[in-house]
Structure 1
């Protein structure tokens, strides 16, 4: 087909082209200046003329020809003549040589240097290159000097219909909602043609559907595909294959064509209601089933897919709406019936429910078809089971005073067997919750008694667990938590909140607050603590200090006068009686230690006794007293040990032959001599009893702890 078309075009255009090529040398061209040549649309451009050429005032142009064309895909036994170059300076004496340069010169285009004929020696393809720019020049045959400035011209490749349309992006896929109206746009496709779109109809495309009627149609020029049938149902057929053709030459006979496929999928819309698979469902459940357990499943089928098939389930009627609930399973698209409250076979043995399935996503376009929902009946039969005992309360709260008598009853729990047989119940305490065995329980009636004394100050709450067991079936047991609160009794006297130590400046003023103290009480009265403070009766008229009760339940100690002197009295002890507001009230006496200190003029304590700055570390008086007591105790232990050892062992007797005498001599630094020498017999050290006997005066001084000089 392409070869035949080429031959037809060649037969038609060859005579015209040859006539057109041979005419130009005979055509006279009127004189033009350079600007007129550049804007005249001629493919030949003149270079800028030099001043010398302007002086010559040439009135005629040297080159004479028209724009050249060559037909693409032309092939023949001989090179095709494209055109002829000729200059009016050529007198026909064959002294002019024509030279061709530029795109394809010598490889695609060849020139006869004598006649100026240009031939195409290769087959051309417009889709590869549409035009060629070449340069022509006429020179003297003998001297090779240019007769004219070189000029450019264009050889255009003329198009033929040698390319079929192509769908570069095919095959195509598109989606359109089901039940769409007639003429709903589906998609559009595009084909391309490599032929020249501005020359002839080689690239003018027309679209048509070869396969896919009567469901779809296509606009011939825009290739927009539309539905040709209304209300196509996805549930009947979901996918369609459409074959599309693009034909060039405006669709006329002889044009080339290309095809592609389009797969159209109908997307789902909610045009179908849910429908239960059966109208009546039967389920059975034991009465002791755990809350939240799934009793059964119901399912409503929907021909739609995705979210359009999603349904919600509800219990809309029946005598078990309070005991059962239904939830939707989004994966399986069914309804799960679960237990909300405990069942009791002895109370009710069966229930009837009416359940409903309704679409979640409603399409208003199809609401006129009726409600998108369905209902079914569910019957649930309760089966009898051996149930554990049931306590009268899920939890118990008991209260007992901390001074309650042992074996007194502090509360009671009750339980029953809910079965028809009604087995007797025995009660016990879970000892893991009462490790100290502070409570007991009567196994028959559930009365809880006190086994050990309680102390609220040690523990306010006791949490135990009571176990109820069926006598006929020991595997049926129940447990209940019992919280026992210990109530307060005023059994603790108040005392100082901490160990206070007050400091009084020697230069203090009368009425000055020396110390503020507060009290604490381990008890916890309902109305809070209220303390009373007082001095001992024998110190009620204390000449040095007085007390003052504050609104915040604290106490301030004030000095009655000034002029305290730590040289006269360094420490004062002030006993304070603290009483609570209990019934009966309790009291205790706490002693406040007040030290007289030396202070600066602004009341800053600097020293509290003479030894304060001699001590290596800043120890308190209490710490010093404790250290001194330890030292005295250690000395007493040493003395007792020596005394006991002396009475236990026999006196040591030194025999004459074993008498060894040594002199321990100490020399005075000031000089020697007998008067400066102190010596004693070693036997004295070996016989301690000799201390109580007669010894020289200087020896008694050494052993008795009194020196001779001191005596």
Structure 2
């Protein structure tokens, strides 16, 4: 026994050396909580880890779920001496303590977790050597081909393999399975026919469904969800109709039978139940309307079809219940005799039976027709109107309506003549109504004729302007006709025609332009004298025409008075007016000097003739002084040219190279740029920064703008200046000076006034004294 222990220690020591354990690193370290994963089935004496403890510790102690498998050497070497089994214990919870020479704990206990990793060391095993089962024919998806008559049973061998069968070291097991195929009784029944309006007591059994096993819960489902569902099913699968059915209301029903288990889960596919409602003859024929009106001309031949009475029957079509028969039972009046009409027995078509009809005998016949099926009869009423035939032609009251003279400026719509024809056919019918038309003398359609439907009077009106220069005399021929065709053998003749002579007199008319608005289009930079358009007018009398312009408010155009050509006479400016409108006047030369006017619109196309400028006035640009960091501001450019000309793509640069050490201009987009400072050493004053803006047009134009930028002391992000230094507000010293000057001026004014008063007073005293001296002399 002692020798065996020595050999074990020797082997462990050899493994300890060959595997590198005991070296600081992956497999050794201080005593602390740790977790190790070890595959089950490994051989004994496998080293796990070597713990290092403080110098006071001389040995180690292992406790916990060791299962006599895990041990630790005095030097801290942890190992297991038996193979691990995950199925016995998957995790081992251990504690390691470090002890001194007296057996006292100096470190720990520290938890150590051993996780046993699984290896495929157990084969799958079936619970029994043989299994038996059954399946119903057509009871589940995929079992449709099973037929108990052909193959009542199947013997299967089922294998199972672990690890998914993807490894050479996987295990497997097999067993036999005997399957019995049973007939599936869950089948859709044959379509059912139910006679409508049955008098049998309800409910009435119509069919049955049955699940393969007892205990199924049955229900019916109708996907159409009707307001009333006349079917039910009991828990034996018997399906009933619960009330009388009406084929004319609904001739067929399709719904489904469902079988569920006690938990409400469907056991199989729903079965479709089809019910056809069988017709009985329970509907009488109905007339299409209260009275069916037919028409026949008075000259129709015997046997001619007059029309058809179409009655209806709501019973099933193309069955004996809906076959209808027709029979005339009464004719009113019976003149010139009874039996003038017959009706086809099954089509309802009416024909003339014995002779042609005459309207003067009677204009209308009323027939009573019996319509019947095999059980019911209905009376329908037919009215046959006799229509007069168009055997009379219209006749004019006079063949010639003489001559009429009109000026060519007669207003459109003026009635110039009244004509009249008569027709002997029945009044207010297509046979007697008269339509007038002009067959000769008005090829351009300058006249029209309106007919009064009550009197057949024709009113000849001016439809288009008369034109002496085109046709001075119109020899008109009128034709009177009926909208209803004439009967065979009757034709229109000279009595249906009349003549009329229209003489058009000349009226001096103003010139006429070929169009009312003339268009021109040129670039705005065309040279003076460029032709920009042309107008044309003609005088109906053939006089010469002189052209002139009106409304040329800018003085841009002139017109050749003879040719009508229009020229530019001054620089054009699209930015001032892009569509320039003037009036062109055409005046007769000689005669009554009549004139007419048309419009001339000149569209000016843009050219790049405006340099860029600032989009607005920038007067409040400032930076706070002293600046702490370089700053920037944004400005916008524009010009007056058409935007679509180039899409607004400006370039920006400083106007002076000497400013580049202090300022920088950067383009933001086609219209905006930023002005930035490059340092913070600016004085407190206003800087005027020139910026060049180029539009990149054809040709390119460039403009230089000045941006005033103020560096000022700021309070609340606004420029601040003391009140004594603000422009327009005097300082205290200035105010005192102004006041002193004002007082001085007032003193001078007062002294002058006082001196003048004193002087005037002295002069008055001298004059008084002189007066006193003279007075005694007068005495």
Q: TM-score range by the shorter chain?
A: 0.3 to 0.5
TM-score normalised by length of structure 2: 0.38
Bigger strand share: 2
Structure of greater relative contact order (alpha carbons < 8 Å, 6+ residues apart): 1
Bigger helix share: 1
TM-score normalised by length of structure 1: 0.40
